[in-house]
Every structure is written in C-alpha cells, then in structure tokens.
Amino acid sequence: MKVNKITALRVLLAMAVTVGFTGCSKKGAGGDTSTATGWKINDRKGGFQHNSRYKQQATAPGLVEVEGGTFTMGKVQDDVMHDWNNTPTQQHVQSFFMDETEVTNVMYMEYLDWLKRVFPPTEENYKNIYVGALPDTLVWRSALGYNETMTNNYLRHPGYSNYPVVGVNWIQAVEFSKWRTDRVNENTLEQEGYLKRDAKLTDATAEATFSTEAYLESPTKSYGGNEEIVLKGPRNKLASKEDAKGVYAQRTSGLILPEYRLPTEAEWEYAAIALVGNREYNLYRGNKKYPWKGQYTRNGKRQTKGDQLANFKQGKGDYGGIAGWSDDNADITAPAKSYPPNDFGLYDMAGNVAEWVADVYRPIVDDEANDFNYYRGNVYMKNKIGEDGRAEIVTAETIEYDTLSNGRIQYRNLPGQIAQTQITKEDTYLRQNYTKADNRNYRDGDRQSTRYYDFGTTDEEAGALTDAERMYDSPKHLVAKDSLGNMLREYDKTSKRTTLINDNVRVFKGGSWRDRAYWLDPAQRRYFPQDMATDYIGFRCAMSKVGPKNARKTARN
C-alpha cells in the first residue's frame, strides 16, 4: 500500500508538470503560439505578426456606436403624397458607427483649409481641387427673398461654426468622407510612432501626402517615399512593447480604422428611428412615428413643455415661431445638439437639415434580392496596376476630374492616392454573387428589366439602350468642351421625358428646416441629383464596425 501511494504521488506530480508545460507552451516570450502550426506568433526574431491583444474597434472621432439589428424599413405613419416608394420591408443591419451630429461648417472648413494648404489653388495643376470642394453658398438666394446674410456669412462666420454645412452635393460629401478617413488614420499612426510627429503639419505637400490605402499597399509610397517620415515601428506594438523594431503598421495591427463613408439608406433609417428605446426582451413595444417617443412634435416634459423637438417649418410663413416664445428657436438651421438626442445618442435625425445617404434612388427597395445590409449603388473597383506591376499612385499629372451636369469641375482622385479602375469580366468569371462592376441597375433599370431584353444575346451584342428602350427616360443634359476648351452646356429641352430618375440621383432622408412635420418620419424618402446642392440638405458620416455585433455580450451556453 505504501508503494502504491508513492507511485500515485509520482503520477500526479508528472501530470501536474505536464499540464504546466502544456499551459506554458501557449504563451512564448515573443507572444502566443499558433494553433495551426505550433509556431510562435509575434516572435521577436521575426515571422508572423498579429495583434493578439486586440479587444475591440476604437470609436473614431465624432462617432457613436449603433448596435445593429432587424427592423421594418419603409413603414410610415402617413402617406398623403401617395408616392408608394416606401413599401415596408424587413431588413437587417450590421452594427456600425455614425456621426453624433451632422457635419458642421467648422468641420468642413478644416477640410477646405487642408486642401488649400496642400494643393494651392494658385497653381494651375491644383486650382480645380479646392474650387471643386467649395460648397455652393448661392443656394441661399431666392428670387423673392433677401438672404444675402447667409450667402456671405453662413459657411465661414464663427457665428455659424456649429451649424450643419449645406450647399454640399453628394459627390462632395463622399470626397469629404475619404479625406476624413486619411486624416484620422494619419493621426493615429503618428501617435503610435509609425509616422514622424507633426509631419502632417510641416511636411505634407502636393507631392508628399498620406493615403490610408496607399500606405497599406506600400508604406514607402506615403509622403513621397520619405523614410524619415514613414517609420518602422515595433513588431505588433500592441502585442508586446518590448519587441524589436522592424515593421510597418498593417491591417493586422488593428490600428487602422475602416473608412468614413455616407451611411446607407437602411443604416440611416434604422439609426434615426432608434426602436431600441422601445425594446423589451426580444420585442419592440409598438412603433415610433419620429426619432423620439410619442406621436407629437412638442415636448411633454414639465420644464420644457410645449417646445418643439426638432427644427422644421410649422406652417406657412412660420419657420420658428413668434418672437419671445420661439417654438423651435431657429428660423433657418440650428446649431448642432440644439435638441435632445434619440435613443442611440444621435442628434437631429429629424429636422434641421435633411441628409444625403449613399443609395441610388429607386422607387422600390428590392428585399427579395437582399435583406441584409441593403444598399443600391455598388460600383466595384480595384487598384490600377502600373507598368512596374505595382499599384499606380496618382500624381499631379494624372489627377482625374469630372465635369458635372451644371458645368462645375470636381476632382475624382488626389495625388498620393491609389488610382482605381473598374473590375473586368475576368475578375467576375464564375462568380455567383456578382457578375459586373456597376450594380446600380441590378434587377431594375438594366436591359434585363425591360421588355426589350433578348435572352439570346449579351448586353455587349445588343449594344447600348436607345432612349425608347430606357427604363428611366430621364433628361440627358449635354456638358462638354470644344476644341478651344470653352464649356458647352445644352439643356435637354425635349417634352418626352417621363421621369427624373437615373443612376445619378441619390436618396436623402429626414425633414429639414424648410419641411413640414410630414417629412420628419425617418421612413420618408426623397431623391435629388448627386451633383447638385441645396440650402436644406447636409450629411453625416458612418463607419462600419468590425468584429462582434456587440462586444459587451457573450453567446449563451
């Protein structure tokens, strides 16, 4: 019995040692051990580097988190206009981030200041970059109204700094979002030691700028390839502060944020209605007509009873109430955060300014084709490859510009960015999820959607659609330049056009300071040409969320 006890003790000791070594083998001096190969991850000597200490996506400047979920999109309380363009559909939206407020004048002026400083408009090569980004301040003018105060002051005067920017068309809003992405990631990499401190202020020029995608493709191409600015940082800085220097930041570092962008229509409507405030267990307790609770636009709380909960037109000739007791305290737009936020913490999701969203407008949301992250407007692109076999970087000589339908010149890309081109048939060969680059017309507006489609021919064989065959027979305005460079503009004068809908009209959501309460319902939808601007449409940015739907929750066993 004595021998058996000693033997048992030896067995237990051996097991303990084995377990100890096994547990230790999961962690090495340089990092974790791969469950695929058994090799060390984040080894100081080199090899595969991965941020094994990554927890969750950081909240980028200006954003708040919106937890995704399912909701009924397009469900309105009233449809007195009888548009029939918002038939209710069940949709699911992934978690994402959205700007707490609309983009303000001071935010947009920072963008203009950067463009003017880096791409001086006094130089011929860059003149149209700055001019193309300028908001149209003349949107305030009216044939029978005196609004020159706003025309001259609204964008730049400090009295309007925190008011939402207007006069910005959809294309300009998209370009602002791209610029914002690069500036936020540039600042993050500087703080983490991957870029020289203050280089964004002292070293940024037209020939040396930072682009997120260009940095990820080849860090040495940022800042014109200046290695004194673009630095090698620690091997996975977040994984181990003691790792030897020798690598650039990558997606695996977890430092570089996804892009700022315009929200999709489904995201915007989901965030605006904020049904999470009516949630009880796995059910919504009733619907909401507005972003706030209740069926009325006036505040019912004791201290502020009777005040309007949004900035909108209350009646003919009534944009803000009477003097001394202003119902909404605003006659035009109002400063950001003038009214209470909704249940997601988002301000002015009804009233103040309507907002651009990413989608191309169509009268029907096709939930049969997709009911997850619905979005119409995908035009898939890829990096343009140069003669050296690497991604081609845009230079001052290769900037591309578009001439808009109103004759304005708008830049398509900036020096330092990667040139983009549409994907080809070779890229989509034998794919089942998409078959071409431009999907704006998918199942609606393309040849297959018309009665002229011949199932025995391809689109290339059939040729371009004639005016008679187009599903959306919208006006076609001519904008071109003659041999001398003079602008030619010809308005479509035909009386046979049947619609204003085409691939270049975008959805805008939410009521504005010019709208009646009818348009405050988040499910209402309207459209406007993407290259035109107004005094009542602004925008806010969104950002996709990577990782779990909600990091605070864990799956139940």
Domain edges within the chain: 2-32
pLDDT band at 550 (very low <50, low <70, confident <90, very high): confident
What is the model's pLDDT at position 19? 45
Instruction: Provide the 10 A C-beta neighbour count for residue 544.
Output: 16
**Per residue in 352-378, pLDDT tens?**
999 999 999 999 999 899 999 999 999
Residue 551: burial class (beta carbons within 10 Å; 0-12, 13-18, 19+) = middle
pLDDT, tens digit, 9 for 90 and up, residues 35-66 = 999 998 878 777 887 887 888 899 999 999 99
Q: How far apart are CA 359 and CA 382, in angstroms?
A: 20
Residue 502: the pLDDT is 93
More confident residue, 66 or 480: 66
Give the whole-angstrom CA distance, residue 255 versus residue 247: 14
pLDDT over threshold 80, residue 553: no
Residues 6+ away with beta carbon under 8 Å from 554? none
Instruction: Kindly state the percentage of the chain with pLDDT values over 70.
Output: 90
Q: Is 230 helix (H, G, I), strand (E, B) or coil?
A: strand
Could you read off the pLDDT of 514-528 as tens digits, one per residue? Answer: 999 999 999 999 999
